[in-house]
Structure formats: C-alpha cells, structure tokens
Amino acid sequence: MQRKSDITLNVTLDENHTPEQMQWSAPDGGVKQQNMEAFFLSTWDKESQESARIDLWTKEMPVDQMQVFVHQTLVGIRESYLRATEDAQMAEAMQQFCDFFAAERNLKEVKKTN
C-alpha cells in the first residue's frame, strides 16, 4: 500500500523578498515548525537529466555559520555519493576537498553556540 508523507518549508520574506524567517515541518519524523537559518534543496529531473536547486538563507545568517553549513553539506553529499555509487576513489577525492575546505576556513576552530 502506498503512503504519502509531507515535508513543508515555510519562508517569511521581507519587502525586498529576502528570507527573514524559515521553518520546516515533517510530521512523520516528529518535526513541527522547526526554525532554520538556511537550506539547500536539490531535485533530479529524469526526463531532462538536470538538477534543480533552491538555496535560501536568512539575512541574519552569519558568514562563519554559512561556511560550516556548506562544509557539512559537502560532507553529506560525499557520503550520499559513496552510498549510492560505491565509488570509493571519487569519494576519497571529495573527502580531500572537504578537508581542504575545512582547513582553509579554520572550521575546526568553530564553536557551537546555544
């Protein structure tokens, strides 16, 4: 039996159409109106063989947090790529870039704030 599950993204824009506040919900995962400062969404169109993306972040998102967010996203993409393709050689090359990115931006020094 097929089942449908919803994931909802809500974006509040200012007068210049810049995101001020963003929230997401995934009721099946226990997430309800969770605040977020940024998100990257990629989809794949089988027919056109192209990806489509939505990249949004609030105007209050600090650059240092964006650097951490991008780094963690790249690491996640590397992990997804390895799981999907089992291409360990390319996954290692991707990991080397992720390590380079972290070193160049001193991301090992970033502290979590509460």
pLDDT tens-digit map of 15-27: 999 999 999 999 9
Among residues 60, 75, 91, which one ends one of the domains? 60
Q: Are residues 38 and 76 in the same domain?
A: no
Q: Are residues 80 and 98 in the same domain?
A: yes
Dist CA 2 CA 96 (whole Å)? 41
Residue 1 lies in domain? 1-60
Averaged over 82-87, what is the pLDDT?
98
What torsion, rounded to 10 degrees, do the Cα atoms 43, 46, 49, 55 define? -10
What global pTM score does this model have?
0.88
Count structural domains, the chain. 2
Q: Are residues 66 and 88 in the same domain?
A: yes
Q: What are the backbone angles phi and psi of residue 87, rounded to the nearest 5°?
A: -90, 80
Q: Are residues 74 and 92 in the same domain?
A: yes
Averaged over 37-47, what is the pLDDT?
97
Q: Are residues 9 and 26 in the same domain?
A: yes
End-to-end CA distance of the chain: 43
